[in-house]
Amino acid sequence: MKRRETLKKIAGGAVVGIATHSLANRVLASENQLEKNMKGKINHSVCRWCYNSIPLDDLCKAAKKIGLQSIELLNPEEFATVKKYDLTCAMVSGIRDGYGIPKGWNRIENHEGLIKLYDYLINETAKAGFTNLICFSGNREGLDDEQGIKNCAEGLKKIMNLAESKKVTIVMELLNSKIDHKDYQCDHTAWGVELCKAVGSERFKLLYDIYHMQIMEGDVIRTIRESQQYIAHYHTGGVPGRNEIDESQELYYPAIMKAIAETGFKGFVAQEFIPKKEDKLASLAQGVKICDV
């Protein structure tokens, strides 16, 4: 990270000046303390859209103070901002050009447009040095689950050579179709796992959203343990309501995070709750602390 390397040079005497030397040492000490305060078993991220009222630069500064390593669900136009603060984007957004959650890979008629879009997104993701790019099944609209898997696999296979060559993982999100995303097809872990098997690439995996899967199927920890080889990323959220992940909701996140860590997972866990409290950043810091097992 260029900024930190420069600070180290300053602190080491590469630049003359006692005041500058002292400032650099204080900044490095502060950043090192943040790293020491995090336990290191979970890589922490946050979803940008939950904090849209906060300018991205300000969110980046807050993220660094909290101890986050990533701000995610960003578009390529936003990559430079997070990189400026030595942050990564652990999951690149795939909602663009009219495609997204309701309009995805389960419809053959969407494939041509999606392939063009994902060719662009894969290249931009790789160019930035990021590794995960989100995708969606789309809504059923009367399509049965078996045919939905076949259609998704047929389209996704057409971008996997590029994804594999660029070392970018395409990650389909599991969402609930009961409350938030009516009729969404990839709404159960088992369906997602079957799709992973049908695509047949190590560069295609699932985003296990804990909030959504608690609503649809529960049994979160056992499912994580049994399906962990197909999971590339996790999202949090309080149930019910998708608010803070504290004692106001039904899930006990420390146990879930411990189970994730025990699988040997090396990816990211992103906070994706909508802060209900007035101090949104305090809620974010609290969520990260809860998940830092």
The predicted pLDDT at position 38 comes to 86
Residue 73 has pLDDT above 70, yes or no: yes
What is the structure's pLDDT at 5? 54
List domains and CATH numbers for the chain: 1-37 (no CATH), 39-291 (3.20.20.150)
Compare 8 and 66 and report the one with higher pLDDT.
66
Residue 105 reports pLDDT greater than 80:
yes
User: In angstroms, how far is CA 36 from the centroid of its own chain?
Assistant: 23
User: Using CA atoms, how far apart are residues 100 and 234, in angstroms rounded to an integer?
Assistant: 19
What is the pLDDT of the chain when averaged over all its residues? 91
- Whole-prediction pTM: 0.88
pLDDT for res 25: 47
Q: Stretch 30-57: mean pLDDT, rounded?
A: 83
Residue of 115, 108, 103 whose CA lies nearest to 139: 103
Give the residue-averaged pLDDT of 235-247: 97
Q: In this structure, how many other beta carbons lie within 10 angstroms of the beta carbon of residue 182? A: 12
pLDDT of 22 > 70? The answer is no
pLDDT at 212 over 60: yes
Nearest 10 degrees: CA dihedral of 33, 39, 40, 41? -170
